[in-house]
Amino acid sequence: SGKKVLIVYAHQEPKSFNGSLLKIAVEELTKQGCSVTVSDLYAMQFEPRATRNDIVGRLHNPEAFNYGVETWEAYKRGGLSKDLVEEQKKVQEADLLIFQFPLFWFNMPAILKGWMDRVLVQGFAYDLSKAYDGGLLQDKLSLFSFTTGGTKEKYAIRGDIRYLLWPMQHGIMHFCGVKVLEPHICYAPEKVSEEKRKEMLTAWSQRLKTLWKEEPIDCSPEWYFK
Amino acid sequence: SGKKVLIVYAHQEPKSFNGSLLKIAVEELTKQGCSVTVSDLYAMQFEPRATRNDIVGRLHNPEAFNYGVETWEAYKRGGLSKDLVEEQKKVQEADLLIFQFPLFWFNMPAILKGWMDRVLVQGFAYDLSKAYDGGLLQDKLSLFSFTTGGTKEKYAIRGDIRYLLWPMQHGIMHFCGVKVLEPHICYAPEKVSEEKRKEMLTAWSQRLKTLWKEEPIDCSPEWYFK
């Protein structure tokens, strides 16, 4: 209780299974006394493209646009666009980041990838030699909660699902110094019975009840590829 | 010669190192007699968000928007938005797809992920039980060519760079039945000498000269995680 949670949510339809998972998380965490903020990316029409528009005013080097350099410089002088500053404020205040989305192509949807690309800029999320355990977003937890199109059996045939978590959990969160909780995966909600779907929703609700007692995973290559 | 190549390019700045890699590919492949098409995603202001706007006319189920179902149905009745139809036409005609981009967060930039999410819809790129070696984009090759911010040494510390290729090469290309050539990785062009950068450009040009003789990789978990 008293904890702050940011849910970054990437589904177009409130009536979807992802929408239900979001609703449950907001309800359960609020009930616990947490303060919950939702970034509903499609509803916000969040911009996923990393462009010159993310920098207010003059560029550091207008001769050759370098997104990483420009956003780093803009961050330092307080010159990032308003939508990014707002998201960074939410991240800064949060104890826990939950990413709720349907898996698209072994990965997060582009709109959520755009959130990562644009919000987690150098200076804010990491810096020169400040990465991984030295990343700038220390003392925060993250949790990737997603649905799949394919069944658990289909995924298992082609290599462990943990393989696809590496770029998201390790490459992004761990890099920024954010600790990672076990992912929450709902396999193929569109292909199972209504009863099974209800069980999945209950399981998410149950997990959230004891979430704050969970230990982060050991975000090493061994966890993913053992 | 006579081959058709589609280069999907995701960098904002023509004067960038990625811009130089693109230029070299266009020049070398054209010189070989290939017909080269470039989708310059930032210049096109390509839309990365998967929304209702991708479907022209009435929805299959307006009560609850499901992007996968709606784009599948729209594909079958010829009702996808114009920008997607144009990209699909380019893919259909190509013998080789080259993806040229700077690595953002162990992954492709959101604008390129959006291209994957929106262009490779069910019915066009795969279908019910038509995936992997049965995927619908048979007899095509693909090649991921990208630059990194970090040095090769930095990447090696935290696990093989092949780990992050799994979702892109296996999860997308292999899933659609597209064969995958060895990736082309230019490490940290911003951190090396001008001479080293020139060597990297020459190496790309050289590789392209014998590209059509290359054998695709064995896109199995072993290639990535051995």
Whether the predicted pLDDT of A36 surpasses 90: yes
Cβ–Cβ below 8 Å for A158 and B49: no
Q: Please give the ipTM for the structure prediction.
A: 0.97
CA distance A176 to chain B (A): 10
Nearest alpha carbon to residue A159 among B219, B120, B116, B179:
B219
Nearest alpha carbon to residue B98 among B138, B141, B139:
B141
CA distance B166 to chain A (A): 7
- At A168, is the pLDDT very low, low, confident or very high (cuts 50, 70, 90)? very high
Nearest CB among A12, A48, A105 relative to B171 is that of A105
The structural domains of chain B, with segments of one domain joined by +, span: 4-225
Q: What is the pLDDT of residue A159?
A: 82
CATH 3.40.630.30 describes domain B4-225: no
Q: What is the pLDDT of residue A179?
A: 98
Mutation for A interface: B49, B116, B130, B191, most A CBs within 10 A: B49
How many angstroms from the chain centroid is the CA of residue B218?
18
Mutation for B interface: A113, A119, A146, A157, most B CBs within 10 A: A113
DSSP string, B109-120: -HHHHHHHHHHS
Q: What is the pLDDT of residue B128?
A: 87
Cβ–Cβ below 8 Å for B110 and A49: yes
Cβ–Cβ below 8 Å for B159 and A50: no
Cβ–Cβ below 8 Å for B117 and A110: yes
Which residues, given as ranges, of chain B have pLDDT below 70? none
Nearest CB among B107, B172, B225 relative to A225 is that of B225
* pLDDT, tens only, B28-75: 999 999 999 999 999 999 999 999 999 999 999 999 999 999 999 999
pTM of the model: 0.98
- With contacts defined as CB-CB under 8 Å, which chain A residues touch B52? 12
